[in-house]
Structure 1
């Protein structure tokens, strides 16, 4: 029986992703997905998306604000853009999104069913029912505004949807995984980034035909009010509005503070990644990958990206750590180093292209980087968090540092009165 993977609350954070970051997120998100599918298969990629800690870390490593609700919208959007052109090759389809895009999900699923031979109507019903459960059967004060449906060619799927509570200024993210799905009302979720958790039914699996019919009949004949009472009964409580916490499941609570602080990061793991990057000898690593220009800073980012690709679930307890790979669009913990970001994408794309031709050496090198990180973190020593961030900000201009406030000035300009004024032109090396 599928169970919730965990829960988390996310502070609401308004704002838009700038185009320069959105394009990079699209490329990096797609190539990380490709690497996971190559190494571990589509099922594992779906499981990762259903894990709230990994999902938050995935968004953080792509330069989104590490703690905020905006990661959900941005990650779903980046995957939809990035994996769309490769849907035939990878057998993965991303539907839905925020607002009006969420309402298009059933139509998109029916169209995909027509192309792949899946039962598109059943998939569309699953999409509607998942949304109905989280908006009606589980009445926890959060109004849904985002619904993303990631579907594989074999009919397995993940749903990631999010609601907001305007009074508390927090969002709650709900994760559903079709793998071994059993019931829509008996603890239905693979995970909830909020306080609700549970199990579900795979409407696309032929083995779940009886369960599929029963759950659809329940919604049609009894309506959401009766479902609420059924959930309350199954949870063993008088009301389904506040299901009891499950202490054996991970529960992620993202703090309200926007800046990344030392307490948000497991320093031994950061030191392990930094030591692994240095131990791999950046010059030799660049030669192995045959990607000119890869230096120590890019290898540090690759070490954290490698962990997103290969890391076990227990390693994502501190999503803030992954923001130290490519910074954040609001300069937390520091501006996005666009040159490093672009080089990371180039290394991964080159490795994937070689792997498609049967040469896994480059992808294996990245995996070895992750292995080295785990070995070294037990003994590694390094700078304090504040020292690491200060150095990164000092070098930000050289790395093509950029945020929603514009390009980072050179150190000599750091005392300029308007640090947030947008700068025209391109950062050094930008566009090359």
Structure 2
């Protein structure tokens, strides 16, 4: 069963007294999780939007806020660097995301790994969710998790500045970066999304690389012709491979932003001889406007098109976990400090005990698994 989770933009901040408790509780949960499932098991859960949102709710963050990503990952990152449980994190929100390569080098040195591969992966993942997949969301948050065995996961988030809603992209070691690579995407489904990493876009990917290798001059001419055709002008000799309205197609692309070719990037791609779509995406200077322009030419001139289906994953909304200690913004009720401290104390004792004694917790979870929260409590946070 699946569902959609919207993450609207919220203001405000986490008060210091709550932030400290969030760090303590997160530390205990992550320790118990690694003890139970190992570091790879932790990464798998971080890449699951349901589990991640449940953790966010358990520690007292808003159940429906875009801040549930930035605050929760920030807390997790701090805990992972403070604790020695075999996992570290790089990156963060805004300017912090630019430090990802530097921090990945530090992690690689710590775990005796090759930083180059992780830095390349970090850049590629960001390029895919900002260029190869376009649905009106601008990336502003990128966190890269690596464990001591070399496994990795990524959480990044984009914001639709018009609608003031966010979507979260979850990654966990895909077999193929350019064919449906996401573990999941949590957010609001858009009617149209330029999706060039769909399995339906394989012919598109190959053709795009081929025309780029042929040179940018012809692409530029075709783009200018399309813009003229969309205004109603027709040359004496004109052929198009299928029945399509140029103006309608152009508007579809322009709804996502401008159409501008970066000649420098395209010429460099031709000079180095990119051999596949993954290499092409990593070309410096290749941005969303250039890919939109290329895609428009492919659709109208070459009759090769990408997918326009938004790959948002519909997942279960774990709102019931907000009942653990309450919510920062009083939904479903104000955070109760006494209850929060009792929970931390209980888990601290649990961490110290023999793992066999944790059977009690598993029995408790069976009692609450089928519990349904009152729907009237599920209201948007202020």
Same fold (TM over 0.5): yes
> 1:60 aligns to what SS in structure 2?
helix
Gaps of 5+ in 1: 201-212, 253-316, 390-403, 406-432
1:68–1:221 CA distance, 2 compared to 1 (3 A) = closer
Residue aligning to 2:352: 353
Is the Cα–Cα contact under 8 Å of residues 8 and 173 in structure 1 kept in the other structure? no
Contact between 2:70 and 2:141, CA under 8 Å: does it hold in 1?
yes
Of 258, 269, 279 in structure 2, the residue corresponding to residue 217 of structure 1 is 279
CA contact (8 A) 1:50 1:158 kept: yes
C-alpha separation between the residues in 2 aligned to 1:321 and 1:135? 32
Which of 6, 17, 27 is the matching residue for 1:30? 27
1:83 maps to 80
Taking structure 1 as the reference length, what is the TM-score of the superposition?
0.60
Question: 3-state DSSP class of the match of 2:83?
Answer: helix
Deviation (angstroms), 1:64: 0.6
Listed as ranges, the gaps of 5+ residues in structure 2 are 200-274
Superposition CA RMSD, Å: 3.3
Deviation per residue, 1:234-288 (Å, 9 max, x gap) = xx98345x43458xxx514xxxxxxxxxxxxxxxxxxxxxxxxxxxxxxxxxxxx
Q: Which residue of 2 aligns with 1:154?
A: 149
Query: Given the superposition, is the C-alpha separation of residues 13 and 35 from structure 1 closer, same or farther in structure 2, using an over 3 Å criterion?
Result: same
2:179 to 159, 178, 186: 186
Which whole-Å CA distance do the structure 1 matches of 2:166 and 2:280 have between them? Answer: 29
Which is greater in Rg?
A: 2
Give the structure-2-normalised TM-score: 0.68
In the superposition, relative to structure 1, how do residues 114 and 215 fare at CA in structure 2: closer, same or farther (>3 Å)?
farther
Aligned-pair CA distance for 1:220? 4.2
Q: 1:121 to 1:245 in 2, by over 3 A?
A: closer
1:279 is aligned to: none
Give the superposition deviation at 1:342.
1.1
1:32 deviates by 0.8
- Going from structure 1 to structure 2, the CA distance change for 1:383 and 1:26 (only over 3 Å counts) comes to closer
Q: How far off is 1:110 after superposition?
A: 0.9
Q: Distance in 1 between matches of 2:175 and 2:374?
A: 47
CA drift at 1:217? 2.8
- Aligned residue pairs total 290
Match of 1:363 in 2: 358
Aligned counterparts of 1:86 and 1:10: Cα–Cα separation in 2: 30
Find the residue that maps to 1:102 and give its secondary structure: helix
Cα distance, 1:34 vs structure 2: 1.2
The separation in 2 between residues aligned to 1:53 and 1:158, in whole angstroms, is 15
Please give the alpha-carbon distance, in whole angstroms, between the structure 2 residues aligned to 1:99 and 1:319: 27
Question: Quick one: distance in 1 between partners of 2:7 and 2:25?
Answer: 23
Whole-Å separation in 2 of the counterparts to 1:175 and 1:325? 25
**Equivalent residue, structure 1, for 2:62:** 65
Q: Is the 8 A contact 2:7 2:66 kept in 1?
A: yes
Match of 1:238 among 305, 311, 334: 305
Separation in 1 of the partners of 2:60 and 2:367?
24
Counterparts of 2:77 and 2:160 in 1: how far apart (Å)? 26
Q: Note the C-alpha offset of 1:318.
A: 3.4
